[in-house]
């Protein structure tokens, strides 16, 4: 197996360079085809906002272009000087390249470890390469194994558990308090950008109704129209707070909108009903003292960001286990590929030994015909077969080991010559 | 029949150990192993009940029967709420009840004529009080989970951290339904028990027997719970605390000797 992975990522290059050499989808597919035809190999181009990587492979063992040639290729495509790119390019060959792709697909090399997008991007990359004909048997097998590895990491570790966007974390909190939403009222206060994003997530819960209020009635109408809610006057905020089960506050007000003193009568009129207040405004709209942890839960932007950090820290604790899975799958892939690639040669070698054994044993048994019992005849045949297997064991095991170490092609050639299998 | 309390008690304990291990290493094999041990325990428990037919009027009988119902409840929850820490709350109670039944194993009265046609109302009384006990125990479990979940939200902890539990609303509903069902059963069961007291001539069967007073106290607590919920609209957290107290009272009541059983034993 001969594989090279060359590219840049957020670890090695700034966004300035990354955006310069990023590929659009049509250009990516064109580049895959060009690489394959120019260097006579299998090729795929992975391009995301955080990385651009070229994967080239030759199952046979002939050498592949080095990092300088590939820097020139990228330079030609994007009009960037190869010398500017060269210090940022990372090259991984053979088993290292396999391991790298598995880590990328499993989101271990991502900016946000455990994010789910990258597995889909890897899938799209290799499927596109297959569509343009640049993805052959090796890259195809490699990509399928990468997907399998990503799935194992996702299901056997907690690396992808939890949400890391503020709006998703907010919805997670709401789900910890409420079970069903068909009877719930959401109140949206203000019309901030972050608020609209969170509201989109909340809408997916299919609440009974959405009330929208804003100092500007026009803005309230706009947001209400967007989310299929009802605009209520700013003066009716307290009444709306009494009705609401979930409050999403996102005003740009320079001062606090609802103090504890103002909320106390609201709480009294809610008949002990639970309320979740998502205060994602800065400065905060709700007095933190309103959070009593009994019937009223207030989560502000810092709480939500804190959860995001906790989630990321939690994900990091799963990295060690995930790396072990990647190592395990990497070894399996190399073994499988080695077996697949060596399979033909081993079959020929076995046939050759089989024929030689027959050449020796059949005349011998012919000469001894009538002098041996059936049992003695079987024992002689068995002994020769055992001898043949013992002789074959050494070369077959060595071929497997060489495939894993990256010395497979040389040893394959040696075995071919030694046993005259041409 | 070679099945003893230790057989299913240890199976439940092993299932609990595996569930605890799953909290630190959430792998599928541990979950499956936990379910296998839990199921094995329940099968052994069921066979034990069929062969032993313990008297629900005794501490041993009521505890071992209640443990069986909760073991079914555990398995149902473990299968349906696979991501939640359900087993971690239910299994300790099952193990506790099995442990207590082991301690109170001494009295070996079988159902005998308690479930005969002659004692039909006695049987109905027993079944209703046992069903009410199940309701109070379920309410207790829901309350315990509610308090843990509420504390997590009060402290604004990560939804991923610690034990994964059902939402506050769901747990509160579970508690409410359990008590709503337990109360009428306890009321009718208690009334049937009271109606039987004058019919026995034994002096040990009196209104002041610990079991009678305990059950009466439990009924009062259940009534207070209903009033606080529907009449005074007390916050769910306080109701949860009171439900836990009700469970404590129920356990004490269960382990006291039943006056009818005492009378039966002295005859």
What ipTM, to 2 d.p.? Answer: 0.81
- Residue B43 has, within 13 A of its CA and on its CB side, a CA count of 6
Which residues on A lie below 8 Å from B168 (Cβ)? 176-178, 274
Which of A177, A294, A306 is nearest residue B169 as measured by Cβ atoms? Answer: A177
Which of A179, A272, A279 is the best mutation test for B, with the most CBs of B within 10 A? A179
Which of B149, B162, B169 is the best mutation test for A, with the most CBs of A within 10 A? B169
In tens, the pLDDT along A9-28 reads 998 988 888 888 999 999 99
Highest mean pLDDT among A136-140, A200-204, B27-31, B41-45: B41-45
Which residues on B lie below 8 Å from A178 (Cβ)? 167-169
- Other CB atoms within a 10 A radius of the CB of residue A352 amount to 14
- A-B interface: how many C-beta pairs under 8 angstroms? 68
In tens, the pLDDT along A243-268 reads 999 999 988 888 899 999 999 999 99
Q: Would you call A310 and B237 a contact, using CB atoms and an 8 Å cutoff?
A: no
Strand runs labelled E in A191-283: 209-213, 230-232, 246-249, 275-279
Annotated active-site residue A49? The verdict is yes
Q: Would you call A173 and B153 a contact, using CB atoms and an 8 Å cutoff?
A: yes
A303 touches chain B (CB under 8 A): yes
B154 touches chain A (CB under 8 A): yes
**Judging by DSSP bridges, how do beta strands A2-9 and A51-58 pair with one another?**
antiparallel
Tell which residue, B157, B7, B23, has the closest CA to residue B88. Answer: B23
The Cα B54–Cα B65 span in angstroms is 8
Q: Would you call B169 and A173 a contact, using CB atoms and an 8 Å cutoff?
A: no
Which residues on B lie below 8 Å from A291 (Cβ)? 154
User: Residue with structure tokens 């041993």?
Assistant: B60
Which of B154, B158, B237 is nearest residue A307 as measured by Cβ atoms? Answer: B158
Which residues on A lie below 8 Å from B151 (Cβ)? 293
Which of B170, B173, B233 is nearest residue A272 as measured by Cβ atoms? Answer: B233
Q: CB within 8 A of A25, min separation 6: which ones?
A: A128
In tens, the pLDDT along A312-351 reads 888 888 999 999 999 999 999 988 887 777 777 888 888 8
Which residues on B lie below 8 Å from A179 (Cβ)? 166-167, 169-170, 173
Q: Would you call B167 and A314 a contact, using CB atoms and an 8 Å cutoff?
A: no
Q: Check residue B11 and give its pLDDT.
A: 94
Q: Would you call A173 and B160 a contact, using CB atoms and an 8 Å cutoff?
A: no
From A300's Cα to the closest Cα of chain B, the distance in A is 10
B159 touches chain A (CB under 8 A): yes
Average pLDDT value for chain A: 89
Q: At what angle do helices B236-255 and B86-103 cross, to 10 degrees?
A: 20
The Cα A312–Cα A300 span in angstroms is 19
From A294's Cα to the closest Cα of chain B, the distance in A is 7
A24 touches chain B (CB under 8 A): no
B152 touches chain A (CB under 8 A): yes
B163 touches chain A (CB under 8 A): no
Q: Check residue B200 and give its pLDDT.
A: 57
Which of B156, B171, B176 is the best mutation test for A, with the most CBs of A within 10 A? B156
pLDDT score of A410 more than 70: yes
Q: Check residue A198 and give its pLDDT.
A: 84
Catalytic-labelled residue, pool A41, A49, A227, A330: A49
B23 touches chain A (CB under 8 A): no
Could you tell me the CA-to-CA distances from B92 to B10, B71, B76, B77 in Å, in that order?
Answer: 12, 10, 16, 14
Which residues on B lie below 8 Å from A303 (Cβ)? 156
CB A35 within 8 A of CB A45: yes
From B94's Cα to the closest Cα of chain A, the distance in A is 26
Q: Would you call B234 and A272 a contact, using CB atoms and an 8 Å cutoff?
A: yes
Per-residue pLDDT tens listing for chain B (267 residues): 678 888 899 999 999 999 999 887 777 888 899 999 999 999 999 999 998 888 777 788 888 999 999 999 999 988 888 778 888 999 999 999 999 988 888 654 555 555 555 577 777 888 888 899 999 999 999 999 999 999 989 988 877 667 788 999 999 999 999 999 999 999 998 888 877 765 555 555 566 777 788 888 889 988 998 888 888 878 888 899 999 999 999 888 887 766 655 555 433
Could you tell me the CA-to-CA distances from A135 to A42, A138, A141, A335 in Å, in that order?
Answer: 5, 8, 10, 21
Task: Identify the three-state secondary structure at position B191.
Answer: helix
Q: What is the mean predicted confidence (pLDDT) over A271-287?
A: 90
A234 touches chain B (CB under 8 A): no
Which residues on A lie below 8 Å from B161 (Cβ)? 310, 314
If phi > 0 it is left, if psi is from -120 to 50 it is alpha, else beta; for residue A94 that is left
* Residue A58 parent element (H or E): strand A51-58
Range of weakest confidence among A62-66, A93-97, A199-203: A62-66
Q: Check residue A325 and give its pLDDT.
A: 96
B175 touches chain A (CB under 8 A): no
Q: CB within 8 A of B145, min separation 6: which ones?
A: B89, B165, B166, B171
CA quadruple A358, A363, A364, A368: dihedral sign: positive
The Cα B111–Cα A401 span in angstroms is 70
- Other CB atoms within a 10 A radius of the CB of residue B230 amount to 11
Highest mean pLDDT among A97-106, A169-178, A377-386: A97-106
What is the pTM assigned to this prediction? 0.69
User: Residue with structure tokens 């499956």?
Assistant: B32
Task: Identify the three-state secondary structure at position A81.
Answer: coil
- Other CB atoms within a 10 A radius of the CB of residue B140 amount to 24
Beta bridge partners of A212: A188, A231
Exposure letters A29-46 (e unless 16+ CB within 10 A, then b): bebbbbbbeebebbbbbb
Residue A258 has phi, psi (to 5 degrees) of -125, 110
Burial of residue A274, with CB atoms counted within 10 A of its CB: 0-12 exposed, 13-18 middle, 19 or more buried = buried
B161 touches chain A (CB under 8 A): yes
Q: Which B residues, 131 through 150, put their C-beta within 8 Å of a C-beta on chain A?
A: 149-150
The Cα B90–Cα B247 span in angstroms is 13
B149, B153, B154, B157 alpha-carbon torsion, rounded to 10°: 110
B112 touches chain A (CB under 8 A): no
Tell which residue, B191, B220, B195, B219, has the closest CA to residue B205. Answer: B195
Q: Would you call A272 and B170 a contact, using CB atoms and an 8 Å cutoff?
A: no
Q: Would you call B168 and A178 a contact, using CB atoms and an 8 Å cutoff?
A: yes
- Cite the DSSP H helix spans in B155-209: 168-196
The Cα B183–Cα B218 span in angstroms is 9
* Residue A142 parent element (H or E): helix A137-156
């Amino acid at each position: 197996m001969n594989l090279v992975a060359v590219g840049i990522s957020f670890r090695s290059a700034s966004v300035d360079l990354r955006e310069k050499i990023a590929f659009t989808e049509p250009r990516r597919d064109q580049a895959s085809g060009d690489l394959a035809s120019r260097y006579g190999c299998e090729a795929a181009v992975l391009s995301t906002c955080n990385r651009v990587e070229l994967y080239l492979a030759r199952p046979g063992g002939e050498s592949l272009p080095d990092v300088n040639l590939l820097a020139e290729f990228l330079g030609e495509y994007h009009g960037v000087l190869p010398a500017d790119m060269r210090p940022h390019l990372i090259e991984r060959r053979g088993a290292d390249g396999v391991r790298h792709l598995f880590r990328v697909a499993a989101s271990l090399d991502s900016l946000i470890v455990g994010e789910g997008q990258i597995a889909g991007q890897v899938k799209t990359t290799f499927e596109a390469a297959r569509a343009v004909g640049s993805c052959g048997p090796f890259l195809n097998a490699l990509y399928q194994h990468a997907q399998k590895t990503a799935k194992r990491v996702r299901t056997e570790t907690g690396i992808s558990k939890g949400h890391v966007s503020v709006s998703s974390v907010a919805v997670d909190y709401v789900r910890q308090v409420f079970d069903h939403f068909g009877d719930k009222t959401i109140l949206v206060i203000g019309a901030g950008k972050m608020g609209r994003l969170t509201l989109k997530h909340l809408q997916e819960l299919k609440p009974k109704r959405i009330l929208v209020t804003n100092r500007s009635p026009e803005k309230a109408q706009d947001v209400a129209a967007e989310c299929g809610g009802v605009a209520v006057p700013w003066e009716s905020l307290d009444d709306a707070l009494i009705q609401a089960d979930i409050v999403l506050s996102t005003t740009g007000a320079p001062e606090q909108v609802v103090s504890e003193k103002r909320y106390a009568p609201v709480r009294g009129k809610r008949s002990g009903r639970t309320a979740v207040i998502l205060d994602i405004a800065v400065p905060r709209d709700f007095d933190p003292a309103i959070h009593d942890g009994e019937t009223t839960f207030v989560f502000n932007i810092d709480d939500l960001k804190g959860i995001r950090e906790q989630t990321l820290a939690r994900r990091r604790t799963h990295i060690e286990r995930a790396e072990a899975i990647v190592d395990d799958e990497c070894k399996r892939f190399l073994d499988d590929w080695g077996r697949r690639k060596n399979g033909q040669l081993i079959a020929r070698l076995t046939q050759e030994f089989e024929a030689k054994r027959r050449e020796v044993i059949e005349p011998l048994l012919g000469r001894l015909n009538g002098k041996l019992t059936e049992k003695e005849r079987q024992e002689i045949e068995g002994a020769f077969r055992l001898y043949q297997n013992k002789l074959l064991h050494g070369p077959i095991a060595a071929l497997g080991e060489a495939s894993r170490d990256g010395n497979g092609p040389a040893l394959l050639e040696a075995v071919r010559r030694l046993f005259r299998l041409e | 029949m070679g099945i003893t309390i230790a057989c299913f008690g240890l199976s439940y304990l092993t299932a609990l150990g595996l569930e605890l291990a799953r909290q630190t290493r959430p792998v599928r094999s541990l979950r499956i192993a936990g379910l296998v041990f839990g199921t094995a325990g329940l099968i052994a428990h069921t066979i034990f009940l069929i062969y032993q037919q313990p008297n629900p009027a005794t501490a041993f009988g009521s505890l071992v029967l209640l443990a069986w119902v909760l073991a079914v409840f555990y398995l149902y929850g473990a299968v349906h709420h696979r991501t939640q820490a359900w087993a971690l709350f239910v299994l300790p109670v099952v193990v506790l009840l099995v442990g207590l039944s082991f301690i109170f194993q001494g009295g070996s009265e079988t159902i005998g004529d308690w479930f005969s046609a002659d004692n039909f109302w006695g049987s109905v009384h027993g079944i209703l009080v046992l069903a009410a006990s199940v309701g109070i125990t379920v309410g207790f479990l829901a309350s315990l989970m509610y308090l843990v979940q509420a504390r997590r939200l009060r402290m604004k902890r990560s939804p991923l951290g610690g034990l994964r539990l059902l939402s506050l609303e769901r747990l509160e509903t579970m508690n409410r339904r359990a008590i709503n069902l337990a109360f009428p059963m306890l009321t009718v069961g208690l009334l049937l028990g009271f109606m039987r007291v004058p019919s026995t001539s034994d002096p040990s069967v009196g209104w002041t027997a610990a079991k009678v007073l305990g059950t009466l106290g439990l009924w009062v607590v259940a009534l207070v719970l209903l009033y606080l919920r529907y009449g005074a609209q007390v916050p769910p957290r306080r109701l949860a605390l009171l439900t836990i107290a009700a469970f404590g009272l129920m356990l004490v009541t269960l382990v006291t000797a039943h006056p009818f059983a005492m009378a039966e034993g002295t005859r």
